[in-house]
Every structure is written in structure tokens, then in C-alpha cells.
Structure 1
Amino acid sequence: MSEPGNLDLLSDDQFRERFRAWLAANYPAELRQDSHRPFRRLRGDAAVAWLRRVQEAGWRAPAWPREYGGMGLSFRKQLIYHEELEHAGVARIIDLGETQLGPTLIQCGSEAQKAHYLPRILSCEDVWCQGYSEPGAGSDLASLRTSAVREGDEFVVNGQKIWTTHATDSTHIFTLVRTGKFAKKQQGISFLLIDLQSPGITVRPIVNLAGEDEFCEVFFDKVRVPASQLVGEIDQGWTVAKALLGYERIWIGSPALAGKALELAHTLVRELGLSGDAGVTDRLAQLAADLHDYRLLYAEICDAVADGGKPGPEVSMLKVYASELLHRLTEFNQEVAAESGGIVGDTRIGGALTDLHWQLMMARPVTIFAGANEIQRDILAKTVLGLPAEAAAKSQIKN
């Protein structure tokens, strides 16, 4: 089965069956996630090799319109697509070219930019990272200071980005830069596409708490970028960058990781002989109930979008709840494992082989990236609950 065929003619159940069969036949068993390794990721050459196989078989870019090389799936079929990736244990890939830049170019890019970059994203000829956060401009992204000054047909870029995920594995970066000064700091920001091989760029990896170099610093020293690499209008990059944040938070808010962490929790309690410990089982039951409630909330929001609604500020609830539940689950798993929970690297607990320290450390930044949870609570307080700014600020202090 090499081509998915005309998906428009398939029912949701038929689509699920066909994609599940293709994954079962094509995804390498040795790279699968399971309850013991729930956060496995692919990056670098392994990620590119898998994505190229997906592209060759016609299963790439479910959200892109067919005219741009995507699958053109309805939102409901996109949900099924992601559910089947999780069901098959496909390791997570941070593919910002497909999930962020591609849709941004489709919506805001020039025809020349679409014709050049979209096919190269799908073929993995170009691998993209995101240059948003800076020292002093993370959650308060509008305070960024990396500058781009127009000189003839080029921009000259100077500054620094930080927490740039997988920059060492990337060939290009899409980034926000300061091109003008206005009273409102969201103005005067532009969206640029930059080749990471350009003279004047230095990429420096940052080792995280789990011992991985997935984050990086990116330095720009008089980097010359063709003006044709500007996406959208000059000084209007804030609007470009916000275009897809709602959908991003829906996918980030998936309960899948928490679900796998809960499966591991049940395994640990069983393997450690703690099923008769009322304190342990009460905590486990509370976590299971919280995940059940969250799945219902997630399904409700996804159903509303599938029925034609647009993601609103309420999707911030998904990111907050999912990330903090993941915190609590990984903490529970490490605590019930007692001394085994402090081991760095794989450890065997009964019949389970797992790395609890790595999972705990990888779960920590989830409440920070894609907008810190404190910022998400502020958004919810102002735009969903309708609280005045002063009351919203007090709610942040209490939390």
C-alpha cells in the first residue's frame, strides 16, 4: 500500500483503518514509543529518513491543502491522523517546517516563497527551527531586540535568539526581528526566513536537565538576508506569527503524553507490589480521574473546531492543564519508584525497563515553552473570564 488514494471518498472509520494499516507495515518497531518510553523522540537523520518515507507514501502534511502538496484533511480526520500516530507508538518529531512555517507561508507568504519553500519542506531538503525567544523576551515576546536594518535589497540582522529547539539539526530558521520602533511594542516586528549557513551566524547548543542538547542559542552578527525573505508586510510580523497559535496549542494540549505516563504509573504500582497501599492507590485514582476529565475537555474543544469553530483564547486551558498533569504524573512515577526513581539512565523495576529521571526532566519545560503557563493564565483571566487587568495580576500571584 504505497499511496493513500482519494481520502475525500473515505469515511472517518475507513481513513483510520487505512492509516493504521500503513503505519503498522512501515514504522520501524525499534523506534516505537511504549508505556516504558513514552516520550521518545526522533531528530536529525532518523527524523528526516522517516519523514521522507511518509512523504513518498503520500501521508505527509495532513493540514496542508492538496494544491500545496498536503493531504487536505478535514480537522476531524487530522485528529484521527494524530490519534493513530500515538496508537502506533510513532516517536515524536518536532517538524516546525510542516506544522508552523508551511501553514504560515500558505496564508501569508508570496507566491515565490510558496513555490520555493513548500516542496523543500515536504522533501526535508530544508529543515526549519523557530527563532522567537530571546534573553529577556521569552513569554514577553514583544520585547524582542534582535534587529534587522534594511540596506538596499537586504536586511542586516544583529542579535541573539535562545531556546531554539533543534537548531543544530536545522538548515534554516524563521525568526521575528525588530524592524521599527513604535509606541506599541508589538508593532515594528517583522518575520524573516534565514539560511543558517549564512555568514555571521553561530549556533551554540544548550544541554538541558535531561542531558540533551535539544535547545540552542543562535547569534546573528551582521547577517545579510535578502529582502525577498520577508514574509508578509514590513513591521507586521506579529500578525503573521499569531496566525496559527490557536491550532498549535490544540496539538500541544493533546492528552497522549499524560496517557502514556499514566500507563507507566499503573505498571509501576503493579510491579512494585503497591496495589494494596491505600495512599498510593488514592493518588493514582485521582490522577486517572483528572486525565479522564481532561480528555473530555479536549474532546469538547476539538469537536467544536471540527464543527467549524475557530480556536479561541480558551485553548490556553489545554496547554495549562495538560502540562501540569504531566508534571504530576512524572513526579508520582518517580516517587513511587523510591530509590530507583533517582537513577539516571535505564533501570529495571520488576518487569519494566524505563528511565524515570529522563522523563521527569523532559516534562519540566512543558509548562514554559509555547507560552509559559503564567502567561496562559493571564490570557484566560482577561479574555475568557473577563477579569480586569488588576484582578488578573492578583490571580497570577495566588497561582
Structure 2
Amino acid sequence: MHEHLTPYDFNALSDDEFRLRFRAWLKEYYPEQWRQNDRRPYLRLVGEDLRACMLLLNEHGWRAPAWPREYGGMGLSFRKQWIYQQEWERAAGARIVEPGETHLGPTLFQYGTEEQKAAHLPRILRCDDLWVQGYSEPNAGSDLASLRTRAIREGDDFIVNGQKIWTTQASTSTHIFALVRTGQYEKKQQGITFLLIDLRAPGVSVRPIMNLAGDDELCEVFFDDVRVPVSDAVGAVDDGWQVAKSLLGHERLWLGSPAMANSAMHIATRLVKEIGLETDVGVTDRLAQLQCDLHDYRLLYTDICEDVANGAEVGPGASVLKVYISELLQRIVQFNAGIAAEYGAVIGDVQVGDLSTNLHWPFMWALPTTIYAGCNEVQRDILAKTVLKLPA
């Protein structure tokens, strides 16, 4: 794979030089229509917009900041990855969900064969393939090891039958990496295999699910006698649980970014002014409490990222980030909808004084943040057992 070595070593730059270089590139090349604003506070790119954005980054050498240079990535240190994220958020860059880069690539680095790396990594960078994650199933979400999608070996193929749910962007993607049941053992975490599946294969069907925010990016995926080569199993057959666990790492930190809460707080302060509530002590007290909570969280997030940048491991304590910021985001958007009175009940854009925004979509979108990526109840269990050392 060394023929794909990225020619430029960004780690040779000082942190300030790297920051200013990426900031200048975003200002010159990143299109306005892909930036978040008051009307699109959590804009996420999907489909062709996602592909076009990833191709633009790849063309200019800004794709895959965490990938090693020998696989075509930027090979950034953690500190420079953190700067990259800060500048992306500073430029109001759209939210990017691209599991091929963030999840599958690092998994192939660790567990993939040389043939799998050669086949898939360049296609991910070129956006020939767009990947989604196939983990959750009905009755197997937080208790993922209870999954029931089965893959029965038949010669050189697996025959896959079952269903995945809450599969983000499956309707606009080409491939899925999925956990499937290939064996029965005493421990339910055993007998699971990490399998790569073409969503265009015969027997695969995708059905979008409309949510309360009006989006249909979440999908159900059905497998009906889908034939998948055994060579598309990543890692050892029946040992996919270990492969899946390796996907955590720094992703837990980026998931805890305060960016969305910052956007919601910006709307909150504008609303208080535009509605004329600056002298309402009850409203301003609640706003001040939210501002203090967000300020404290920013310091916590910075401290944890700083520790990792200085060589610390991403421990289970990072689970506190996802718990805190998701619940704080919900409290801020609920505050916004509440003080906006009749404006808070409008579906779509509203004009409040000089502020043009959308209050309904962020309110509805924030509701599932405490559920996805490991529901907060499970995250609290992790914190209780591994950080506080409480008995089971």
C-alpha cells in the first residue's frame, strides 16, 4: 500500500501553521451551501452532497485526517486532528457521517487482509463506495450481542438472512459492514462475525424511516438469502465482537464535541433578545444556568482532549462526554422552543424579529441524541462499573 503515500507531512508544520493553513483553505474552497447557519444549525450532508464534499477534500489533500499516510490519509497526530475539528466547526462546516472513513478504514488497518485493504481503502477515499454501519436490530440495540441476523456458510459463501434497523444513510449508500451471527456459544458475544456486504446485492432491500424531524436518513435493511463471499469477513469468523469493539477510540471524543450545543446556545441568546425577554428574570436565570453548564462542559472536553493529545488513552471515562452533552443539548433546544411561545410550535422556518431560524427541527432532532451511539442509561452503567467501581 505504500505507493499511496500522501506526499505532504502535515505533522512537520507547527500547530499554528497547520491551523492557519486549513482555515485559509476552508475560507477559499468550502462552499457556502454546505455551511451551517441559523436556519440549518446541524446541517448534515447526505447522498451526492456528501460524496461531492468528500471528493473535494480528497482532491485537495484534506481527506481522512486520522488515516496513516501510507494508506492515503493525512496521518495527523491527535492534536492536529483536534485542530482540524476545531477549524471545521469554526467554519460552520456541515456535519459529516461517513463510516467508511471513520469506522471501516481503521478496522481494516488492524484486522483486514492485504487483499481487503487494497480492494476497499482506495475506493473509500475516492467515494466509489459509501459505507454504512449495520449493527442495531429490533430487540438488539444497546444489547447488541442479542442480534439475530444469521450468516450460514455454504461453500465459499455465507447466506445471510435477517434485518438491521436505524441504519443511517443506507438509502443513499452502496455498502454496509454488519455484525451477523455465524455460531452459537455459551457467551452470546461469541459466534458473531464482522461482514462486508454490497447493498446492491440480490436479496438486499432498504426501507427509509421517516422521523419526527421530517428526515428519512434512518433506514431498515433486510437480507433475504443474500450471498456474501467468506473472504469478505473481516478478522476471524466468530470473533467479530472483538473487531467491533476496536471501532471506539477517538470517535467517542469527536461525538462529545460541544459544537451542536454551541449552535443551540447561539440561537438561545438571539431569541431572548429578539423576543424582548432581557428583563425577564426567570428567563435570564435559566439562560445563565445553561450558559454556565455549557462553559463548564467546554472546559471538561478541552481537558480530556488535552490529556489524549499528551499521550493518555481514551478511557471509559470518556462516556461522560456523550451523556452530558446530549442531555445539555436537549435542555437548550427545549428552552428555545419554550421561550419562543407560538413560534416554537411552527414546523419549518420562522421569523422572530431579525432572526430567521427553525425551532422545530432542532427540538425533534435532539430527542434521539440520548439514545444513539449507546444510550445514556448504558453509558451510565459503564461509568458506574469502570470509573466509580460500583458493584454490578
Specify if TM > 0.5: yes
Same amino acid, percent of matched pairs: 64
Find the partner of 2:341 among 338, 343, 346: 338
The answer to whether the 8 A contact 2:147-2:181 is kept is: yes
In structure 2, the residue matched to 1:34 is 37
**Corresponding letter in the other structure for 1:132:** Y
Q: What pairs up with 1:266-305 in 2 under 5 angstroms?
A: 266-305=269-308
Find the partner of 1:152 among 141, 151, 155: 155
CA distance in 2, matches of 1:316, 1:246: 11
3-state secondary structure, aligned to 2:369 = helix
The answer to whether the 8 A contact 2:11-2:80 is kept is: no
Query: 1:187 aligned to 2:190?
Result: yes
CA distance in 2, matches of 1:300, 1:93: 24
In structure 2, the residue matched to 1:382 is 385
**Corresponding letter in the other structure for 2:147:** L
The answer to whether the 8 A contact 2:203-2:223 is kept is: yes
**Corresponding letter in the other structure for 1:275:** E
Find the partner of 1:8 among 1, 6, 11: 11
In structure 1, the residue matched to 2:315 is 312
In structure 2, the residue matched to 1:394 is none
3-state secondary structure, aligned to 1:348 = strand
**Corresponding letter in the other structure for 2:40:** R
CA distance in 1, matches of 2:67, 2:276: 49
Find the partner of 2:216 among 197, 203, 213: 213
CA distance in 2, matches of 1:385, 1:246: 21
CA distance in 1, matches of 2:52, 2:92: 17
Query: 1:198 aligned to 2:201?
Result: yes
Deviation at 1:31, TM superposition (A): 2.4
Query: What CA deviation, in whole Å up to 9, does each residue of 1:296-317 have, x standing for no partner?
Result: 1111111111111111110110
Deviation at 1:116, TM superposition (A): 0.8
Does 32-41 or 229-238 show the bigger shift? 32-41
CA distance in 2, matches of 1:221, 1:36: 41
Deviation at 1:4, TM superposition (A): 9.2
CA distance in 1, matches of 2:286, 2:251: 31
**Corresponding letter in the other structure for 2:152:** V
CA distance in 1, matches of 2:33, 2:201: 37
In structure 2, the residue matched to 1:64 is 67
The answer to whether the 8 A contact 1:246-1:315 is kept is: no
In structure 1, the residue matched to 2:79 is 76
In structure 1, the residue matched to 2:368 is 365
The answer to whether the 8 A contact 2:38-2:356 is kept is: no
In structure 2, the residue matched to 1:92 is 95
3-state secondary structure, aligned to 1:251 = helix
Query: 1:248 aligned to 2:243?
Result: no
In structure 2, the residue matched to 1:178 is 181
The answer to whether the 8 A contact 1:199-1:223 is kept is: yes
Query: What CA deviation, in whole Å up to 9, does each residue of 1:123-171 have, x standing for no partner?
Result: 1100000000000000000100100111110011010000000000100
Q: What pairs up with 1:111-150 in 2 under 5 angstroms?
A: 111-150=114-153
Which runs of no fewer than 5 residues in structure 1 stay unpaired? 390-399
CA distance in 2, matches of 1:180, 1:310: 33
CA distance in 1, matches of 2:183, 2:198: 23
Which runs of no fewer than 5 residues in structure 2 stay unpaired? 1-5
3-state secondary structure, aligned to 2:250 = helix
The answer to whether the 8 A contact 2:9-2:74 is kept is: no
The answer to whether the 8 A contact 1:36-1:264 is kept is: no
3-state secondary structure, aligned to 1:354 = strand
Cα 1:238–1:145, aligned 2, differ >3 Å: closer, same or farther? same
The answer to whether the 8 A contact 2:308-2:314 is kept is: yes
**Corresponding letter in the other structure for 1:128:** W
CA distance in 2, matches of 1:148, 1:5: 43
Deviation at 1:5, TM superposition (A): 4.0
Q: How many residues align structurally?
A: 387
TM-score (norm 1): 0.96
Deviation at 1:54, TM superposition (A): 0.5
Runs (4+) of structure 1 exceeding 6 A deviation are: none
Find the partner of 2:327 among 324, 329, 341: 324
Deviation at 1:246, TM superposition (A): 3.3
CA distance in 1, matches of 2:169, 2:319: 25
The answer to whether the 8 A contact 2:138-2:165 is kept is: yes
CA distance in 2, matches of 1:34, 1:150: 50
3-state secondary structure, aligned to 1:369 = coil
3-state secondary structure, aligned to 1:258 = helix
Query: What CA deviation, in whole Å up to 9, does each residue of 1:184-231 have, x standing for no partner?
Result: 111111100000011101100000111110100000011000011000
3-state secondary structure, aligned to 1:93 = coil
Aligned-residue CA RMSD in angstroms?
Answer: 1.1
CA distance in 2, matches of 1:291, 1:349: 24
In structure 1, the residue matched to 2:241 is 238
CA distance in 1, matches of 2:291, 2:110: 40
3-state secondary structure, aligned to 2:311 = coil
Does 299-308 or 190-199 show the bigger shift? 299-308
